[in-house]
Structure 1
Amino acid sequence: MRIAFLAAAALLAGCSQSVTDYRQQTPVLQLDQFFAGSGRAYGVLHDWRGRQTLRFTADLCGEWQQGRGDLYEVFYFSDGRVEQRHWQLQQDSQGKVSGTAGDVIGEAAGQLAGNALYWQYVLRIPYDGSTLDVTVKDWLYLIDPQNLINRTTMHKFGIKVAELTLSIQQTDAGADCTDLKRKVAEVAATQGQIL
């Protein structure tokens, strides 16, 4: 029995992916290029059973200067909720990525390689009239210069509790973010959140 368990563990370990597996993949993902200007996202959230629980769309807009960026997001959920996030991001010349946001506990950290980004962070989400902190493991894959697929798993106590699939399209790399910044501020004010 012990040998079977060790063999299964070794097999699973051999199947896990590393972001460096994608270093030769193109087009190369650079956050300051893909998340510049306006974008639109479409997503589906599944619970731990794989059952669809929520759908959403999101408007995005990013501004970058010398490897530092602000990414503004407004989410429209199928249950009527509207939420916002303001990421403050940093990307260095070696592809290391870090970020903070109002509903992120501490700092998100990750690594770019080829067409992919893997990063991880703790997200505080609304849950049953209160909040719940979950560990987010985020994989982003650039399909072409304007389209990206995001696959996310959320974990609590090391157990997967939800999975998210998200398609993001860059709509105008030169767009001004003023209107979306205003919308983010309005949504944050109604939620009593600090930007």
Structure 2
Amino acid sequence: MSLALPSLATPVSAAEQSLRGIRTNIVQSIRAFRVPDLQEAAKALGHHFLYANLATAQSKQDVLDLIGKQFMLNVTIGKNFDSLYDSLTDPVHKSGPQQGFIVVLEHIPANAKFDKEAREQLLDIFRDTVDYWGDRKVPFRCFYSFSVARAAHADSVHSTATTNMGAIEVLTENGEKMPTDKLLDISPQALRMSSPFNAGYWTTN
């Protein structure tokens, strides 16, 4: 009679398992993912976890300053998105082999100072960054959400958020309907992190 040998396979967390259905190099809405789960998955995979909460940002410079501070980048981000791309690519690549990245941009602003064009420019920078690391066979997954915006109509400015039965309908400053799957609550309770982001420095052991 043969005895079954114990499995030597490393247990896979639920968060890590859920990422197996996501391309290794992608920019997408955070949707049903939870930030702590993504952080756990990054740890399990040996990837850098980069988190930025942009709920307090109003302008492009605010967004750049908050990303630079919360990502703890070694390269100073300037006043344009190109400098953000530069800081996430060559200097990091030259610092040593990288296992991968999981990035979260939470509560990207949606207001008059950071309009639809600015939001697309920001996401395009991360799409370019994804391509850069993809060319080098390094996983880079970026998840994002938008903050609830206030509508600005020609005759008045008012909030259009409605929470009847959990449904939210929000318009941006240009009357554009925001995709509700990309909206997250920005109440004080929602902004609390279960554990603060502690950046793993760019050099690997």
TM-score normalised by the chain length of structure 1:
0.31
TM-score normalised by the chain length of structure 2:
0.30
| Greater gyration radius | 2
Bigger proportion of residues as strand: 1
